Amino acid sequence: MLILLVEDDPAIADCVSATLERYGYTVVRARSGREALGSGRADLVLLDLGLPDMDGLDVCRTLRRRSDVPIIVVTARSDEADTVAALEVGADDCVIKPFGLHGLIARIRAVSRRTGAGAAESAVALPPPPLSFGRVVVDPASHRVHVDGAELPLTPKEFDLLVALARRPGTVLTREALIDEVWDCNWFGSTRTLDVHVFALRRKLGDAVTITTLRGIGFRLECP
């Protein structure tokens, strides 16, 4: 599924693009309204209203006149009138900044189901395979972890953190990368939260797996 991301802030665009690509989407980026209108076909458009060259509502209106491509408007404007205006000019949904990336993925999936976008891709999509390392099996599809054949109860964030590490065993993941992936790039809390969850994972997994701390850098899951 090809997503056109219209966002002029490079930091936000990088974070959103990385997340979308982790979920299997192909992303084409545009930094301005004119660039967006000059882009080719897309299965869905993520459109920021605060563009440097023209009003995002005009971009939405023009895109809607051209095609029935699903459009999710992203805006920092919390006024209900702005949301209503976006929907009236043709947007299918509206997301207010700051937003969580997992919530954004859910919105994309919901709009895709309603509009039929990416139906061909969805029809043949396969669930991600289980991740196995030593005595541990992590199944992202069923959201389950087994150690020596017994299911291990994990909180949602503990599970997401383990999946992030297990997808790249032996690779050092920085603290920033893990927070972006597990808590989203809009997380403004203490990074101590990450340490607490790593400690909990170590305690629950015991000697079945090793999570190494690289002081000042991040964490690495060691392959047995």
Show Cβ contacts of residue 195 under 8 Å, excluding neighbours closer than 6 positions: none
Domains of the chain with CATH codes: 2-124 (3.40.50.2300), 131-222 (1.10.10.10)
What tens-digit pLDDT sequence spans the chain (224 residues)? 899 999 998 888 888 888 888 888 999 999 999 999 998 889 999 999 989 999 999 999 999 998 999 999 988 866 678 788 899 999 999 988 777 777 888 889 889 888 776 554 444 444 567 888 888 999 887 888 999 999 999 988 899 899 888 888 888 888 888 887 787 655 445 567 888 999 999 999 998 989 999 988 899 998 76
Alpha-carbon distance of 9 to 97, in angstroms, equals 13
* Contact call for residues 212 and 220 (beta carbons, < 8 A): yes
- Please state whether beta strands 131-133 and 136-139 pair in parallel, antiparallel, or not at all (unpaired): antiparallel
Alpha-carbon distance of 89 to 14, in angstroms, equals 27
